[in-house]
Amino acid sequence: MTIRDLLGVIRTRWRLIAFCMLVVIGATAATSIATTPVYEATARIYLATVKASDNEPGGAYAITQKDLNTYAEILDSPDIQEPLRERLGLAAGTPLNVSATVAELTNMLDIKAHSSNPQLAAAVANEAGPVLAEAAKKFSPLLANNNQIVTADAIIPASVPSEPISPNVKTNLALALLAGLIVGVGVALIRHMSDTKVRGEDDIRELSDRPILGTIPLVKNANGTVLSVADDPHSHHAESIRRLRTNILFVDVTTQGHSFVITSSNPGEGKTTTSVNLAIAMADAGSKVLLIDGDLRNPTVAKTMGIEGGSGLTTVLLRRAEPLDVVQRWRDTNLYVLPAGQIPPNPSELLGSEAMSLLFQKLSQDFDYILVDSPPINPVIDAVLLNQLTHGLLMVVAAERTRRRELEAALRSLNTVDVPVSGFALNLATTANSLAYRYGTYGYGQTAAVHSSRTERASRRKATRRPSRTR
């Protein structure tokens, strides 16, 4: 995986990454709040020996490093802990956490006390030195023999700490942010690797080298219409259909067939909606277009366009009507529609019959372009039969819905019978990664409003500068 692929995964699944980060940060924050805070207080003391009395006989004794290490070791012993509790007025058995660090070149000890109470931590650190000095004779027989005692002078007394050393909320949250990011990216990569759906154009390019002729956005119309080119011509959806129309006309330059079958790998990917809107867009360009509902198993073109569908293709193939009797002009346009008609028991045989071939040849002479809405490829073979009549095949792929293995199976079926795909239309796209999406931020309505506003302001300025009439 390249850096570009990784950035694409992060951009696509940023919500999942953000969710993982919030979970880790939230868990860390909750743990930090629930953890009992620990405060640390430090006192630096100087240990020295003095005679118990000036009249007492005995020589001088200097405290050694060995003695200092001994004093540091006995801080957690009962000989220190019990007197320390008595000095502080604490109950017997109250746990005290106190330790010491020995200086290398001086008779100094850094006494550290830890407690959930900051005042108690400071008191323990300050009182531990005198208690230790009183108990020093017991652990240094030479001191007793020389009639000397140990004194503890506070060089730096312990102050009451203002913040706990644990938990360190700022550090924990910073580490949680980093850990959440790592976990989120890891989960996103796992989801990406295990994801079987087509998410964007890159997924299609991995399966086929045929061009992507259009990216059609997912739209949610409040009025329920799907004929965006006719009913909402300034929308993102309509603009993307016109872009698809332009690209498919470039494909037609190479085929010179002026006819395309529009299909998908499975049902529910939007092939009929794409077929209808593409036909309307081609008719708007001035061409005489015929849209044929070639899905004789589940016809939906007539219902989508709001026309009568009781008679149609099957009626003509059964010689019960002439093509001109059942082909319907849609509204006041150059678009004509041949519905499927009644559902037959043998749709594949009808589409592959000689009658269908003759009918298609006749219709090709009467129209500039013919578009055929066909059944999906994976369930049935009808699209392959219709492709034998046309000169191009447009494959509609639904983003977030079409699975890679389903699209791969459809392409494999087409390759088996040597049916090339002219191009793909990525439908129901949700990411604004193409010019067609960005175009919508500079729409017709906005331009008209700006122009109207400028015109109105100009008119007011002219009226202001117009000289008044004199009587």
**259: part of which helix (H) or strand (E)?**
strand 259-264
Q: Please name the residue that has the structure tokens 């290490």.
A: 69
The verdict on residue 447 lying in a domain is: no
Confidence at residue 225, expressed as pLDDT on a 0 to 100 scale: 66
Distances (CA, A) of 208 to 153, 164, 414: 84, 61, 12
The pLDDT assigned to 445 comes to 39
Same domain? For 188 and 216 the reply is no
Q: Are 135 and 83 in contact (CB under 8 A)?
A: yes
pLDDT in tens, 121-132: 999 999 999 999
Regarding whether 94 and 25 lie in a shared domain, the answer is no
Burial readout 372-385 (b: 16 or more C-beta within 10 A, e: otherwise): bbbbbbbebebbbb
Q: Are residues 94 and 235 in the same domain?
A: no
Top mean-pLDDT range of 72-76, 164-168, 208-212? 208-212
Residue 13: pLDDT above 80? yes
Per-residue confidence band for 81, with pLDDT thresholds at 50, 70 and 90:
very high
Residues with Cβ within 8 Å of 324's Cβ and at least 6 positions away in sequence, in order, are none
Distances (CA, A) of 2 to 6, 14, 80, 175, 198: 6, 18, 64, 27, 19
Taking the model in full, what pTM does it have? 0.61
Structural domain span for residue 131: 39-156
Q: What's the confidence (pLDDT) of residue 54?
A: 58
Residues 68 and 112 in one domain: yes
Q: Do 242 and 351 belong to one domain?
A: yes
Q: Is residue 398 part of a domain?
A: yes
The CATH number of the domain holding residue 106 is 3.30.310
Split at pLDDT 50, 70, 90, the class of 453 is: very low
Looking at residue 255, its pLDDT comes to 64
Q: According to the model, what pLDDT value does residue 141 have?
A: 72
Mean pLDDT of 271-296: 96
If pLDDT is split at 50, 70 and 90, which confidence band does 434 have? very low
Q: Are residues 143 and 208 in the same domain?
A: no
Is the pLDDT at 77 greater than 80, yes or no? yes
In a shared domain, residues 136 and 237 = no
Residue 95: inside a domain, yes or no?
A: yes
Q: Are strands 97-102 and 108-115 parallel, antiparallel or unpaired?
A: antiparallel
* Residue pLDDT, tens place only, 394-414: 999 999 899 999 999 999 999
Residue 306 domain flag:
yes
Could you tell me what percent of the chain has a pLDDT over 70? 86
**Tokens found for residue 199:** 């998410």
CATH classification at residue 207: 3.40.50.300
Q: Do residues 173 and 241 share a domain?
A: no
60 band by pLDDT with thresholds 50, 70 and 90:
low
Residue 272 included in any domain: yes
User: In the prediction, which pLDDT does 52 show?
Assistant: 64
Residue 203: inside a domain: yes
- pLDDT(213) > 60: yes
Over residues 307-319, the mean pLDDT reads 94
Torsion of CA 401, 405, 406, 409, to 10 degrees: 160
- Dump the DSSP string for 274-307: HHHHHHHHHHHTT--EEEEE--SSS--HHHHHT-
Above 60 in pLDDT, residue 302? yes
Residue 224 has pLDDT above 80, yes or no: no
Compare 279 and 444 and report the one with higher pLDDT: 279
Q: Span 109-127, mean pLDDT?
A: 94
The number of distinct structural domains making up the chain is 3
Report yes or no on 401 lying in a domain: yes
Are 179 and 204 in the same domain?
A: no
Can you tell me the mean pLDDT for 112-140? 90
Beta bridge partners of 110: 44, 101
**What is the mean predicted confidence (pLDDT) over 367-377?**
96
Is residue 454 a part of any domain in this protein? no
Whether residues 218 and 150 fall in one domain: no
Per-residue pLDDT tens over the stretch 41-59: 999 999 888 776 655 555 5
Q: What is the pLDDT of residues 375-399, one digit of tens each?
A: 999 999 999 999 999 989 999 999 9
Higher pLDDT, 194 or 123: 123
Rounded CA separation 407/130 (Å): 83
Q: Say which range, 159-173, 266-280, 333-347, 359-373, has the weakest mean pLDDT.
A: 159-173
Q: Please provide the average confidence, as pLDDT, over all residues in the chain.
A: 85
Q: Which of 135-144, 162-171, 207-216, 460-469 has the lowest mean pLDDT?
A: 460-469
Please spell the DSSP secondary structure of 372-437, one letter per residue.
Answer: EE---TTT-SHHHHHHTTSS-EEEEEETTTSBHHHHHHHHHHHHHTT----EEEEEEE-S--SHHH
- Judgement on whether residues 85 and 221 belong to the same structural domain of the protein: no
For residues 167-187, average pLDDT: 92
Within this chain, do residues 210 and 261 fall inside the same structural domain, yes or no?
A: yes
Structural tokens at position 74:
């006995």
- For CA atoms 38, 43, 49, 54, the dihedral sign is negative
Structure token digits, residue 20 = 């993982």
Run of H or E residues at 266: none
Tell me which of 1 and 15 has the higher pLDDT: 15
| Higher per-residue pLDDT: 347 or 106 | 347
